[in-house]
Amino acid sequence: MLGVILRRTSARLKRDFVTERCFSVAAFASRNFSTSNALQSENEELVKLGFVGAGGVSFGTKEGPWNHSVRLERMPNVQFTAIVDPDLELAKQRVKEHSHGENGHKWEGCQVFKDYHEMLEKTTKDKKPDAIIIGVPPWLHGSLDVPSSAMEYDLAKAGMHMLIEKPISMRPTEEVGRLGKELERIADEQSLIIAVGYMLRYNPAIETAKALLEEIGRKPVSFVGRYNCTYNNIAKPAWWDTLKSGGCIVEQATHFVDAMRYLSKSEFKRDSIQAVGVGPDMELSDMPPPPGAEHTVKAENRVNRATIALFKFENGAVGSLNHTLLMHGSNFYTELDIFGDGFAIAIRDPYQNPAVFVRRPHSDDLVEVPLDKKYDMYEKQFEGFLHAVRTGDQSNMRCLFQDAARTYAASWWITEAAGYPPPDGSKPE
């Protein structure tokens, strides 16, 4: 429906694109979301960084725009001192590749370890990372009760700041909630930043939507999220295995679950959630060939092709979330609409080409709002993180672990409503 409105108003949009009102919103957005300007400053304190996991999220992949190492190495006064990965050859290759680049000096002396215990035991004080970026398969971290998956707990006790990739775990939501409390306690005691990479909170479209909600000053009443993923380039069997990845909502649409929590400033009501799905028995024509994708995954563990959920928030608002694994090509097709008394906010394509349209109270016009796209969302997230590590100022840390634990729980509640058993604490084979 909104798509029709958008098409109908596109001619008018061209006329109205630059309005005083639009500029006032953009200015409002930048006032509310200051950045540390770490990119500009050459006088910042040195931060030693380590990676746990040398895979795609931290070092790049053809699946998407993420690559934490290239963004981080562009920031001033960082030094990479450790990469941990059981695939030591991969870790060495990452160091070698980066050592030859423009920022190669920042990788000089970077050590590799097969696990984080070894890193903690063997690094000397001058090489011990101040902060760790965790990007590992979900079932290997985020536990409090199982020592072999208690990576965050151990690293926090060792005094390390962390930026952790979602999904933050595959353990029962109650246990992850307890882990969140423990991490919060340790973080308070040792002045640590323990944050999670729900990077859409730094996306210019989400930032602007949040600023618009504040400016309009009316409660959002209905959220409609559509997260359509391209599947033909996902060649990791574990991704296609609900027992290892959590499935499409916990692994992926969790970003929209988080965005809805963030924008509604409310929590999902578990007992309101209803969901239906199209299961893995639907064949996908462009499935990556064996040995990638789901060919070796047990049929009953394979992920849904489509999931639709309906839910209420604790503040009375309602929402729906549609996730599909149906697109070809490489660009996700993602949209999030917000409706309230007299207004609509339409967030378009936050991953590739973010845009926001607003229809204000007492108006028939849907107008595009100019966005500040100076930094990308990952870069901005890391700016906030490094600034917080250096100064302790968390004002631009938008998702600490305990907050992410609530997104994790809501993502599981939807998954459970769609017919998958919740994580039972057992380890996948």
Ligand X SMILES: NC(=O)c1ccc[n+]([C@@H]2O[C@H](COP(=O)([O-])OP(=O)(O)OC[C@H]3O[C@@H](n4cnc5c(N)ncnc54)[C@H](O)[C@@H]3O)[C@@H](O)[C@H]2O)c1
* Element at 181 (helix H, strand E): helix 173-190
Determine phi and psi for 423, rounding to 5 degrees. -65, 130
> Quick check: 66 binds ligand X (CB under 6 A)?
yes
Pick the closer one to ligand X by CB: 170 or 358.
170
* Element at 158 (helix H, strand E): none
Are residues 412 and 138 in contact, defined by beta-carbon separation less than 8 angstroms?
no
Pick the closer one to ligand X by CB: 151 or 369.
151
Pick the closer one to ligand X by CB: 132 or 358.
132
CB of 83 to ligand X, least distance (A): 9
375: β partners:
none
**d(Cα 389, Cα 183) in Å, to the nearest integer?**
16
Stretch touching ligand X by CB under 6 A, among 56-64, 181-189, 227-235, 340-348:
56-64
Are residues 141 and 395 in contact, defined by beta-carbon separation less than 8 angstroms?
no
CB of 359 to ligand X, least distance (A): 30
> Quick check: 225 binds ligand X (CB under 6 A)?
no
Q: Is 317 exposed, middle or buried (0-12, 13-18, 19+ CB in 10 A)?
A: buried
Whose CB is nearest to ligand X?
55
CB of 53 to ligand X, least distance (A): 3
Residues with Cβ within 8 Å of residue 9, at least 6 apart in sequence: 365, 366
SS3 category, 358: strand
Pick the closer one to ligand X by CB: 160 or 369.
160
Among 86, 101, 329, 419, binds ligand X (CB under 6 A): 86
Residues between 161 and 220 with contacts to ligand X, criterion CB under 6 A: 165-167, 197, 199
Residues between 389 and 408 with contacts to ligand X, criterion CB under 6 A: none
**Which structure tokens are listed for 45?**
């304190």
Pick the closer one to ligand X by CB: 166 or 348.
166
Pick the closer one to ligand X by CB: 54 or 78.
54
Among 87, 267, 286, 349, binds ligand X (CB under 6 A): 87
Among 29, 140, 176, 194, binds ligand X (CB under 6 A): 140
Determine phi and psi for 195, rounding to 5 degrees. -120, 165
> Quick check: 94 binds ligand X (CB under 6 A)?
no
> Quick check: 57 binds ligand X (CB under 6 A)?
yes
> Quick check: 147 binds ligand X (CB under 6 A)?
no
- For ligand X (CB under 6 A), the number of binding residues is 27
CB of 137 to ligand X, least distance (A): 6
Among 94, 161, 236, 387, binds ligand X (CB under 6 A): 236
> Quick check: 82 binds ligand X (CB under 6 A)?
no
**d(Cα 381, Cα 201) in Å, to the nearest integer?**
8
Task: DSSP letter for 45, please.
Answer: P
Stretch touching ligand X by CB under 6 A, among 42-50, 58-66, 269-277, 296-304:
58-66
Stretch touching ligand X by CB under 6 A, among 50-58, 95-103, 185-193, 394-402:
50-58
Residues between 105 and 124 with contacts to ligand X, criterion CB under 6 A: 115
> Quick check: 137 binds ligand X (CB under 6 A)?
yes
Stretch touching ligand X by CB under 6 A, among 25-33, 85-93, 94-102, 294-302:
85-93
CB of 140 to ligand X, least distance (A): 5
**Which structure tokens are listed for 371?**
């966005």
Among 53, 225, 247, 288, binds ligand X (CB under 6 A): 53
Separation of CA 169 from chain center: 13
**d(Cα 405, Cα 197) in Å, to the nearest integer?**
12
* Element at 138 (helix H, strand E): none
Task: DSSP letter for 253, please.
Answer: I
For residue 347, CA distances in Å to 132, 280, 421 come to 32, 29, 32
Residues with Cβ within 8 Å of residue 386, at least 6 apart in sequence: 36, 38, 44, 47, 75, 78, 131
Are residues 230 and 331 in contact, defined by beta-carbon separation less than 8 angstroms?
yes
CA trace torsion 362, 367, 368, 369 (10° rounding): -40
Binding site for ligand X (CB under 6 A): 52-57, 61, 64, 66, 84-87, 90, 115, 135-138, 140, 165-167, 197, 199, 236, 251
